Structure 1
């Protein structure tokens, strides 16, 4: 379907009607502006001034809207005219038919090559091989995880060294595993023979390793 001359004429007529309305509204806007200026000059505080001013603003808004419609109508007309000219030029010089494979429209049967019949078992075999490969990969991953877990379980804790070992050795002579006993850090430092400032870190290391349990502030027992 193309843009006919009748359609272009209708669009053009609509544009002319909008242009006439725009001119009338522009004149009405100017007339009301003159009335507002005259009323303000005659009586600046008149009760009708606000009414005249609001009426002038309403007419001015309508005039602006119609002006926008006229501009849009011009865009529509030029686009339609260009499309009509382009369609007419294509009608004068029809495009040649492209050479290629014949259309399948109207054919009632489709020949199947032997390769098409064999393709289904091949796809099934490929899917089966993929499933086997995925299963093998899963088994390998499971074995790796199991080996890592087994190694983690068989690891032996590293022996304590430094201040933590000295503090634990001293506390084993003071504490038991049944009840909490209050021991000050200064007493521990004196008994273990290490600086008082190093006691906090040593006690934290022992509690983190599960060798010492801390109750109320300053109360400990062996784990």
Structure 2
């Protein structure tokens, strides 16, 4: 399929509004980030090197068909994908895999720009099937998890992962945690380092969550290592 890729910036106001409409229709309220987080991330991109934020949009026949957002953290040489979304009107055509591959390619470029020979790996979160509130949400969860497993992401069973609340007063959100890496073994220390970097540079720095919330989450997630 012929897709035109565009990296979205704050100047692309019409494209941003189109993406946010798709975003709002795709995810349950509890795991749907407020719109200002997208704008915070784009602002952050202007001054975060050697870290990076990527906001990718895909167009087919001049219509938005997908988008993805991701962070690159140079301290651990790891990417963190926040969203990979395809238009509900153009699914089952391989667009999701193409979009995932493209955002992975951009994260690899970020690693090389930061001075690394290759990207160490990529992490991401997905919703848990058991917390779906409707039949459609349950089916979407199953499809999403299968999609990432098919694309070589490993579900990390060693931790009980929780996402910080996305809005003040909300509860912690139990989610699945996936990692894709060329390493033959994913160690507990590696998992801890990735999670701490995500919480520090995504949820605390960009989502602007207070330190006590970050600590509460990490206390529940991190694995005791010797």
Tell me if both proteins adopt one fold, taking TM over 0.5 as the criterion: no
- Rg larger in structure: 1
* Structure in which a larger fraction of residues adopt helix: 1
Q: Taking structure 1 as the reference length, what is the TM-score of the superposition? A: 0.16
* Structure in which a larger fraction of residues adopt strand: 2
